[in-house]
Amino acid sequence: MAYHPSLLVASLALVLSTAIARAQDAPRPPVAKQVPHVQEWHGARFEDPYFWLRAKDSPEVRAHLAAENAYTAAMTAVQKPFEETLYQEFVGRVQLTDLGVPTRVRGYCYYNRTVEGLQYAIACRKPAKADGTIDEAAPEQVLLDANAMGKDLAYFDIGGSEVSDDDQWLAYSTDTTGFRQYVLQVKDLRTGAVQNDLAERVTSFEWAADGKTLFFTTEDPVTKRSDTLWRLPLGKPPEKVHVEADEMFRIGVARTRDRQWLLLAIGSTDTAEWRALPAAAPGGEWHSVLPRQKGHRYQVDHREGSWYVTSDLGAVNFRVVQVPVGKPELASGKEIVPHRGDVQVESFDVYATHAVVTEKAAALTRFRVLDFATGAWRELTFPEPVYAAFGGGTPEFTSTTFRIGYQSMVTPSCVYDVVLATGERLLRKQTVVKGYDATKYRSERLWAKARDGVQVPISIVSKEGHPRDGSRPLWLYAYGSYGFGMPATFDANRISLLDRGVAFAIAHIRGGDEMGQQWHKDGMLMKKKNTFFDFIDCAEHLIATKWTCADKLAIEGGSAGGLLMGAVTNLRPDLFAAVHSAVPFVDVMNTMMDASLPLTVGEYLEWGDPNDKAAFDYMRSYSPYDNLAPRQYPAILVTTSFNDSQVMYWEPAKYVAKLRTVKRGDEELLFRCKLEAAGHGGASGRYDRWRDEAFEMAWMLRQVGVTK
């Protein structure tokens, strides 16, 4: 039977009207208004029509952010069942009621424990037995229960805690907004009475030996630079001790492991100074261990009348020198650990009979133990080709063991105590991951050749037998700033990726310290673009070696890693399928040109001083916000917190608003801003964090074709 033309016309009209109706019903992205605003920098005018989004107290700004959240919720409604599946997987792998490994400090063993259904860990202690182990039969004393303290609060964080030398007082700090603005409090561990709100904007604190005097540091109320040291005799008003005037420097207070000295750390990106005060003389004067010298970074610890100085003076990867307290001159000191061009000294931990040097080489951490009595060294080795190891957690100077944390991309976190005299490792705990079988997964180290010939390490994990035919999705993560290397750690939530046929990789790009301090120097200041080029070259290597393809490559980075995400998507938007940019530093020029913003001036030594025209031009050439242009971008999810104190919410808000006006194509561009109390790291409670991660993972996987 012939198809009548009138029926064809009617059919087409019906299809068209249905499509129009669906388009009208489809969620529409918020359109941020444009308000004329001109900045004048270096004699030129720069328009920024979204500058108004910086007005944090404006109801219009908050309404715009709420509209972005509503749009994101509507666009991701389809993935809600997938999110719930992922969330249940995350929670199902965790031993929700668990006990941490106790740490002995004098007569007590301290530990944290978690309880199913509760968001936060509970800090406790029990008496230690004569052999130093915990007295299990003794009653438990709860020191801090964040669940009770943060009840009915959207956000609660304990910044730190310190017990006095007589074990009777507990100093601690809390933040209830996510803005990292901590309040100092002291608890009487005999009665439970709390002295509240002793100081605001507290950044560090430490007891003197008398158990009655507390030293603490505070930050500037505008720039959030930690700049003032105070002395607080309990029951009396605090006394100002030191104000650091140089805006490049931040300060913090600490104590040597032997408890003999209080230390004031004063540091910038490239320079350090340490001042010391006998812990038994809290009313005395602080004296510099080594004078401040531009370009000299060092750390100190003390043992038997000597300072052990870890110094980069003429040694880019640091060396360790022993000098007498009365005459601390590096030139005449005894070299304990020499400088090596391919090995970075990360720390030097001093104990009564031994010392442990933590070193990094070829993007792997290792430990060597020095016996002071014999001068002999012993190295600790690890069996896996890719792993992460961390020292610390051994506060007692007289300890005969050294605690390390060990894990890999396939091995859940382990805690070992290493016997210093023999090297024997005593496994204290391995994190339980329910239903996990490590033999089903494989991790390895890859090397990508960057465009300038440098070999860049990549750590990668996948399910055993993962096909290498270019058809499978891959999730690539990187950071690459501040000399912070990204360790190849274990993440139980990552199993949900691997079990769905997705490989996960970390690109150890320049800007971190995985290959030593020069690795950082080659990815900062006027060499910052190496960071972005390395990431692109790593992505291309993974595609060329058939780990994935551009249509299946999802990438992620946060904070300075969010800058990385913005830069590489501007440079190579064709190379990626999906991007998660978390709390991203993307409005580089507006931030770096505003010295009143938190942390800005001190950042000049990492990124460059934009008041210098050459540095300004270089930064502007990669600033993500300033280099958005009409092109087809991949799907992008941007997340942040309204109360983030490190990267202000308006950076990602402005970035998304501008990107909406230039992007081509119909790939998703979503923005999620936590308007409730939350910080740079997002939510504070563990269940809330799992919910957020399930949302982000579901979105990323959906972009590469994985939907359940």
121-180 pLDDT, tens digit per residue, is: 999 999 999 888 999 999 999 999 999 999 999 999 999 999 999 999 999 999 999 999
How many Å apart are CA 155 and CA 70, to the nearest integer? Answer: 22
How many domains in the chain? Answer: 1
With bands split at pLDDT 50, 70 and 90, how would you rate the model's confidence at 20?
very low
Of the candidates 644, 645, 684, 692, the residue annotated as catalytic is 644
Domain span at 627: 28-91+443-703
Phi, psi at residue 62, to the nearest 5°? -65, -35
Residue 479 tokens, joined: 């950071």
* Three-state secondary structure call for residue 566: helix
The answer as to whether 501 is a domain residue is: yes
The answer as to whether 561 is a domain residue is: yes
> Do residues 143 and 161 touch, judged by C-beta distance below 8 A?
yes
Which strands sit side by side in the sheet containing 298-303, from one edge to the other?
298-303, 306-311, 319-324, 334-337
Percent residues over pLDDT 70 in the chain: 96
Of the candidates 581, 680, 684, 692, the residue annotated as catalytic is 680
Residue 226 tokens, joined: 């930690």
Of the candidates 268, 559, 641, 684, the residue annotated as catalytic is 559
Predicted confidence (pLDDT) at residue 391 exceeds the cutoff of 50? yes
State the CATH number of the domain containing residue 653: 3.40.50.1820
The answer as to whether 526 is a domain residue is: yes
Quick one: pLDDT at residue 694?
97
Q: Which residues pair with 350 in a beta bridge?
A: 355
Predicted confidence (pLDDT) at residue 24 exceeds the cutoff of 90? no
With bands split at pLDDT 50, 70 and 90, how would you rate the model's confidence at 1?
very low
Q: Which residues pair with 94 in a beta bridge?
A: 433
> For 60-93, what is each residue's pLDDT tens digit?
999 999 999 999 999 999 999 999 999 999 999 9
How many Å apart are CA 105 and CA 419, to the nearest integer? Answer: 18
Q: Which residues pair with 639 in a beta bridge?
A: 582, 672
How many Å apart are CA 1 and CA 92, to the nearest integer? Answer: 60
644 assigned to active site:
yes
Distances from the Cα of 410 to the Cα of 19, 96, 385, 464, angstroms: 48, 21, 11, 11
Quick one: pLDDT at residue 23?
46
Arithmetic mean of pLDDT, 349-359: 98
Percent residues over pLDDT 90 in the chain: 93
The answer as to whether 453 is a domain residue is: yes
> Do residues 438 and 411 touch, judged by C-beta distance below 8 A?
yes
The answer as to whether 9 is a domain residue is: no
How many Å apart are CA 705 and CA 549, to the nearest integer? Answer: 13
Quick one: pLDDT at residue 120?
96
Quick one: pLDDT at residue 15?
41
Predicted confidence (pLDDT) at residue 230 exceeds the cutoff of 90? yes
**Three-point CA angle 376, 380, 382, nearest 5°:** 160
Say how many residues make up the chain.
708
Residue 142 tokens, joined: 């709860």
Arithmetic mean of pLDDT, 18-24: 44
Least confident of 8-17, 78-87, 186-195, 644-653: 8-17
DSSP string of 605-641, one letter each residue: HHH--TTSHHHHHHHHTT-TGGG--SEEPPEEEEEEE
Nearest Cα to 125, choosing from 115, 110, 112? 110
Asked whether the CA dihedral 621, 623, 625, 629 is positive or negative, the reply is: positive
Q: % helix / strand / coil in the chain, to the nearest 5? A: 25, 35, 40
> For 262-276, what is each residue's pLDDT tens digit?
999 999 999 999 999
Quick one: pLDDT at residue 16?
41
The answer as to whether 581 is a domain residue is: yes
Residue 335 tokens, joined: 């070299």
559 assigned to active site:
yes
Q: What is the mean pLDDT of the chain?
A: 95
Asked whether the CA dihedral 71, 77, 79, 80 is positive or negative, the reply is: positive
For residue 688, the Cα-to-chain-centroid distance in whole angstroms is: 18
The answer as to whether 661 is a domain residue is: yes
Predicted confidence (pLDDT) at residue 3 exceeds the cutoff of 50? no
> Do residues 272 and 263 touch, judged by C-beta distance below 8 A?
no
The answer as to whether 589 is a domain residue is: yes
135 assigned to active site:
no
**Three-point CA angle 255, 379, 408, nearest 5°:** 85
**Three-point CA angle 303, 308, 312, nearest 5°:** 170
Alpha-helix runs per DSSP H in 529-630: 529-544, 560-571, 588-592, 604-607, 613-620
Quick one: pLDDT at residue 597?
85
Which residue did the predictor score with more confidence, 68 or 26? 68
> Do residues 529 and 622 touch, judged by C-beta distance below 8 A?
yes
> Do residues 483 and 317 touch, judged by C-beta distance below 8 A?
no
Distances from the Cα of 411 to the Cα of 381, 385, 414, 433, 512, angstroms: 16, 12, 8, 10, 24
> For 272-308, what is each residue's pLDDT tens digit?
999 999 999 999 999 999 999 999 999 999 999 999 9
> For 588-616, what is each residue's pLDDT tens digit?
999 999 988 887 899 999 999 999 999 99
DSSP string of 227-262, one letter each residue: EEEEEEETTS--EEEEE---TT-EEEEEE-TTSSEE
